[in-house]
Amino acid sequence: MDQKHLAPHETMEIHEMLNFKTVALTKSKFMQGIVFDRDLKAVMEKDVQQSVQAIQQLQGLYAKAPVQQTI
């Protein structure tokens, strides 16, 4: 079944996942600047790339969130 909009609880869950992935991405990017081990840096770079991809996918889902109308 193809839904046009997400339920409110689904929208909140996606919002929470976006927040988590954004914080993780920021932390990995920051830590890359102070890490000297090449292997660890490579792992962190892979994490950054995967986080960016996950954020883009979540943003696509978030676009299905219902629009709030103000009175």
Report residue 60 as tokens: 């696509």
Q: pTM of this prediction?
A: 0.76
Q: Residue 51 burial (CB < 10 Å; 0-12/13-18/19+)? A: buried
Amino acid sitting at position 1: M
The rounded average pLDDT for each run of 10 residues, N- to C-terminus, in the chain (71 residues) is 73 91 92 92 94 93 72 60
Report residue 30 as tokens: 């920051």
Query: How many degrees, rounded to 5, is the angle at CA 21 between CA 14 and CA 48?
Result: 140
Question: How confident is the model at residue 1, as a pLDDT?
Answer: 47
